[in-house]
Amino acid sequence: MAQLLQPETGTPETGTPEAGTIDPRILRSRRMLMEALAKLLITKHFEDISVQEIADEATLNRATFYLHYPDKNALLQAMTESRFRDLIERRSITFTNCHGALRAIALGVCDYLAESTGCPSQLARMALEGSIIPVVEDMFKEGLALHGTAPGGIAPDGIAPDGTAPAVEAALRATTAAWAVFGAARRWFQTPNRIPAEEMAARIETMVSPVLFGSSQ
């Protein structure tokens, strides 16, 4: 049962296994539950959907649902995170090059919010930050570590002016930047007659770049 309750995808921070290490039958059940919830969201509000309805739509029993997720909110978070990761992977968005990577990630967030299953009025109220921000944050951390991007103000001894260690400083910048990207993208998504996603991504890049890379970038 411990394996059943583990996420599909792992991260260095959590130490959870990658999807490839999980029994295919478990992954299949999870996909069925996610697809069932996505289908129900087309015609019903999330708060009106019960665990039993999700299980019935997935042709699974209620007990099986609870083997995988503690409640429907956990399923929603898993579903949105999985779909966002799929979008990032389909576009091959990585931090292999600092130039343009921030804009590409911001565009991915904007497009994900615009394309997600469910009517926009529901999506605008859902707590998607718990699904999207960790993915973006991990990408930023990996990019900073890969390129050794030192934020402005780091002294030759590797200590920031406030005494913060470089690794901690980089983590704080990655976290702050991830929240900023999501917040700006969500405000864009909720705005009537919004500008094109590509233009918004460029604006986000301009605003967030100093936070992520330091004022010298």
pLDDT digit string, tens, across residues 63-120: 999 999 999 989 988 888 888 888 888 877 776 656 678 898 999 999 888 876 455 4
**For 114-127, b where at least 16 C-beta lie within 10 A, e where not — what string?**
eebbbeeebbeebe
Q: What is the pLDDT of residue 122?
A: 58
- Among 12-16, 49-53, 105-109, the range scoring the smallest mean pLDDT is 12-16
Grade residue 12 by pLDDT with cuts at 50, 70 and 90.
very low
Q: Taking the complete model, does pTM exceed 0.95, yes or no? A: no
Grade residue 42 by pLDDT with cuts at 50, 70 and 90.
confident
Contact (CB, 8 A) for 102 and 212: yes
pLDDT tens string 66-81: 999 999 989 988 888 8
As a whole-number percent, the residues of the chain with pLDDT over 90 amount to: 35
Q: What is the pLDDT of residue 63?
A: 96
Q: What is the pLDDT of residue 185?
A: 94
Q: What is the pLDDT of residue 41?
A: 86
pLDDT tens string 175-200: 999 999 999 999 999 898 999 999 99
Q: What is the pLDDT of residue 67?
A: 95
Mean pLDDT, range 3-10, rounded to an integer: 40
Mean pLDDT, range 28-48, rounded to an integer: 91
Handedness of CA 22, 65, 113, 127 (dihedral sign): negative
Grade residue 215 by pLDDT with cuts at 50, 70 and 90.
low
CB neighbourhood size of 188 (10 A)? 22
149 contact partners, CB below 8 Å, separation of at least 6: 98, 143, 170, 213, 214
Is the pLDDT reported for residue 154 higher than 50?
A: no
Angle between helices 129-147 and 166-189 (to 10 degrees): 140
Instruction: Determine the Cα–Cα distance for residues 149 and 102; give it in Å rounded to an integer.
Output: 14
CA angle centred on 83, ends 4 and 26, rounded to 5°: 20
